[in-house]
Amino acid sequence: MTEPLLSLRNITKRFGGLVAVNNVSCEINRGEVVGLLGDNGAGKSTLIKCISGVYHADEGEMFFQGKHAHFAHPIDARRHGVETIYQDLALANNLDVGANIFLGREVKKRHFGGLIKTLDDQQMPRESRRTLESLQIHFPTLTEPIENLSGGQRQAVAIARAVYWDAKLMIMDEPTNNLGVPEQQKVLELIRRLREHGVPVILITHTLPDAFAVTDRLIVMHRGRKVAEKATAETNTEELVQYMVGARDDTSEDVRNPQREIALPQ
């Protein structure tokens, strides 16, 4: 069996007396989309911020690509290929699509035909276009400022940026929030394409139909704890809601699950 891309072992994060993430362990494998579900305050954002270097776990360990990992800050995580797309996307509204794909990165030296060249004004749009095309994202022009694009198109730019910079793991926090239905579908399609590119995705969502549409596996959190981990094909909305509201818990002795009742000997 191949080694997981990411392993979390017993991650705990506290804010004062509040345990926002409580002893969570999980693994993310290459090429899979994993949904992270849970009600408001369940600890989903805190958990991904522990992965992406925003927070440092108080307890527990993280392994990335087989090595012990400790990302000092989000830029450090990005350098290792952990890309997080938050709801605000961190795009520069006044800059165009191409400039946003290169935003905040040092100009990178790449090998072309054996020569080392630096990306210049001509290469940047060309590289941007190539990345967008590889994801089947079509913009009439790359010179459109981001502020003129729709929410779904902005998500597409953020995803293209991550792919260009060679993301090994993509974390997306509610990417379909505030989008119209056709745009939601396009973002879900892009998540599928990321999987085809071999990039695993952790998808935080409140929208169960989205989770069923694109994920391979689901992790449910409740009050900081991981209460369930399921293959998407082996669960259903009703069951997931029970985990999300705390009526069911695979990790507790107090499992209120009728299917688990043990038949006593007659």
Ligand X SMILES: Nc1ncnc2c1ncn2[C@@H]1O[C@H](COP(=O)(O)OP(=O)(O)OP(=O)(O)O)[C@@H](O)[C@H]1O
Instruction: State in angstroms the smallest separation of the CB of 198 from ligand X.
Output: 27
Least separation in angstroms between CB 26 and ligand X: 15
Closest C-alpha to 244, from 40, 14, 65, 20: 40
Q: Which is nearer to ligand X, 43 or 125 (CB)?
A: 43
In terms of CB distance, is 40 or 141 closer to ligand X? 40
Query: Minimal distance in Å, beta carbon 242 to ligand X?
Result: 17
N-term to C-term CA, the chain = 43
Edge to edge, the sheet with strand 33-37 lists 82-85, 169-173, 201-204, 33-37, 217-222, 225-231
**Cβ closer to ligand X: 44 or 154?**
44
Nearer to ligand X, 20 or 132 (CB): 20
- In the complex, least distance from residue 20 CB atom to ligand X, rounded to whole angstroms: 3
Which residues sit at the interface with ligand X, rule CB under 6 A?
15, 18, 20, 38, 40-46
Task: Using DSSP, state whether 208 is helix, strand or coil.
Answer: helix
Q: How many CB atoms lie within 10 A of CB 80?
A: 15
Contact of 227 with 243, CB cutoff 8 Å: yes
Cβ closest to ligand X, residue 43 vs residue 152: 43
- Closest distance of CB 263 from ligand X, Å: 37
How many other β-carbons are positioned within 10 Å of the β-carbon of residue 84?
Answer: 23
